Amino acid sequence: MTFSSKIVRKDFPIFERTIREGKRLVYLDSGATSQKPLSVIEAESNFYKFNNAAVHRGAHQLAEEATDAYEGAREIVAQFLGSPGGADEIIFTKSATESLNLLAYAMSNAPVGNRFALTSADRIVVTEMEHHANLIPWQQLSARSGAELAWFKVTPESRLDLSNINEVITANTKVVSVTHQSNVLGTINPLDAIVARAHEVGAVVILDACQSAPHMKIDVKELGVDFLAFSGHKALGPTGIGVLWGHMNLLDELPPFLFGGSMIETVTMTSATWAPVPQKFEAGVPNMAQAVGLGAALNYLTNLGMDNVHNHETVLAGYILERMLEIPDIRIVGPTDTHMRGATVSFTIKDIHPHDIGQYLDSQGVAVRTGHHCAWPLAKCMNVPATTRASLYVYNDEDDCDALVAAILGAQKYFGRF
């Protein structure tokens, strides 16, 4: 099927409404959260209407149906990521933030002798372009364990500086956690050298795929990483559902983080043993309707074809960059070509604060995000207090890019009159 964002758009009820007194909604904030197609909204609400029951528990038909729907969603996620160990390697969390915290806290629980037990003799590696969700959990693990935190720097060209890879990923490195695509710069990070070096020293590689899994074909075997996290709501799915994938042998060795119902094998008054993966990491009644909604979202994306999605966004990125570079006094904070780059474009305009740009854009129906985008150290490194960010997705087209450019020019005129 040929990809058409005009047709895709018809599947998203939100585009039937207007913004700020009848203006067309130009939604350019998918990096924060994506809009939802009707099939996802219906999958979530149909679960509540027809199948709602606590999974893995009740002795009744509804519980069976709910369990089938929930485990069916796990199967869809496994297919989507190319999980070599199938659905058992997929853990549902409430968010990608929780997935990453789960890893960091589970490592804290690792006893001496476990490969995940960190001490002051060890090192954790991140990058300077991490979202706070893939920085602070590791800062805190570093503080708890005494392990040293080190990071790859970002070049003025908005790329990871891997020139000193052997000095950053040292022989004592146990964990390397990196973002696949920067939520600010749009930069897609090359992983081959990082994965090779990390594995050479026996470290595990964790990939924050929040900004990549919704936008490109992901195959965890090809990427070579050991763990991967992404969130449902940025991938056309509901909020309240995130994914953690990991290799089974590693998930087996990793201790649990949250304790309670569903994650146990046996319990006495003084001790407990754990259920097999993935249940070991899913304490409590999970976000079932949201998992089912995520399954519908990934099916929707798969039907579009992830290669089509990626091609569409690469073409759009090229178009929007070209048009934006025509704007006087603009600075693109990120790569200005489409090589290894997604359709997320952050920018500043001379003499107009990003928040004021965002406000004017909103008055024209153009929805963007402003601020440091939960990546404060990166903003400091790029020497900008804040940026305005346009992030595009399957339902955006050239008209949306044109609307953004027109609105930025309008803002320059509006604020320039004083």
Partner 1 sequence: MELDSLYQEVILDHYKHPQHKGLSPTFSAQVSHVNTSCGDEIILNIILEDDVITSLTWEGQGCSISQASVSMMTDLLTGKSLEESETIVKSFSELMASKGTSAGDPEILEDAVVFAGVSKFPGRVKCSLLGWMAFKDASIQAQAQ
Query: Any contact of residue 372 with partner 1 (CB under 8 A)?
Result: yes
Query: Any contact of residue 359 with partner 1 (CB under 8 A)?
Result: yes
Query: Any contact of residue 184 with partner 1 (CB under 8 A)?
Result: no
Query: Any contact of residue 354 with partner 1 (CB under 8 A)?
Result: yes
Site string for partner 1, 17-56 (x = CB under 8 A): ---xx-----------------------------------
- Reply yes or no on whether 401 is catalytic: no
Shortest Cβ 354–partner 1 spacing (Å): 8
Among 26, 379, 390, 405, binds partner 1 (CB under 8 A): 379
Pairing type for strands 330-332 and 344-349 reads antiparallel
DSSP structure string for 93-108:
ES-HHHHHHHHHHHHH
* Stretch of 189-197, 266-274, 326-334, 357-365 lying at the interface with partner 1 (CB under 8 A): 357-365
Angle of the 288-304 helix axis to the 61-81 helix axis, nearest 10: 40
Number of amino acids touching partner 1 (CB under 8 A): 19
For residues 156-182, one letter each, b for 16 or more C-beta atoms within 10 angstroms of the residue's C-beta and e for the rest, the string is: eebbbebeebeebbeeebbbbbbbbbb
Partnered with residue 91 across adjacent β-strands are 244
Residue 232: phi and psi, rounded to 5, are -70, -40
Query: Any contact of residue 377 with partner 1 (CB under 8 A)?
Result: no
Angle of the 136-145 helix axis to the 96-108 helix axis, nearest 10: 10
Query: Any contact of residue 326 with partner 1 (CB under 8 A)?
Result: no
Query: Any contact of residue 416 with partner 1 (CB under 8 A)?
Result: no
Query: Any contact of residue 162 with partner 1 (CB under 8 A)?
Result: no
Q: Which is nearer to partner 1, 174 or 389 (CB)?
A: 389
Query: Any contact of residue 15 with partner 1 (CB under 8 A)?
Result: no
Q: How far apart are CA 80 and CA 63, in angstroms?
A: 26
Q: How far apart are CA 141 and CA 153, in angstroms?
A: 20
Query: Any contact of residue 353 with partner 1 (CB under 8 A)?
Result: yes
* Stretch of 29-37, 217-225, 267-275, 352-360 lying at the interface with partner 1 (CB under 8 A): 352-360
Residues 382-401 that bind partner 1 (CB under 8 A): 385-386
* Stretch of 196-204, 269-277, 304-312, 364-372 lying at the interface with partner 1 (CB under 8 A): 364-372
Q: How far apart are CA 211 and CA 180, in angstroms?
A: 7
Q: How far apart are CA 146 and CA 128, in angstroms?
A: 20
Per annotation, catalytic residue among 210, 374, 381, 401: 374
* Stretch of 145-153, 157-165, 213-221, 370-378 lying at the interface with partner 1 (CB under 8 A): 370-378
Query: Any contact of residue 363 with partner 1 (CB under 8 A)?
Result: yes
Residue 348: C-alpha distances to residues 141, 199, 383 (Å): 34, 39, 11
Q: How far apart are CA 140 and CA 147, in angstroms?
A: 10
Q: 135, 96, 79, 136: which is closest to 227 by C-alpha? A: 96
Query: Any contact of residue 57 with partner 1 (CB under 8 A)?
Result: no
Q: Which helix (H) or strand (E) holds 79?
A: helix 61-81
* Stretch of 155-163, 278-286, 330-338, 365-373 lying at the interface with partner 1 (CB under 8 A): 365-373
Per the CB < 8 A criterion, the answer to whether 97 and 315 are in contact is no
Residues in the chain: 418
Within a 10 A sphere around the Cβ of 242, how many other Cβ atoms? 28
Q: Which is nearer to partner 1, 287 or 364 (CB)?
A: 364
Query: Any contact of residue 370 with partner 1 (CB under 8 A)?
Result: yes
Partnered with residue 148 across adjacent β-strands are 123
Shortest Cβ 373–partner 1 spacing (Å): 10
Query: Any contact of residue 371 with partner 1 (CB under 8 A)?
Result: yes
Q: What is the four-CA torsion angle of 231, 236, 239, 244, rounded to 10 degrees?
A: -20
By annotation, the residues acting in catalysis are: 374
Residues in touch with partner 1 (CB under 8 A): 20-21, 353-356, 359-360, 363, 370-372, 376, 379, 385-386, 414-415, 418
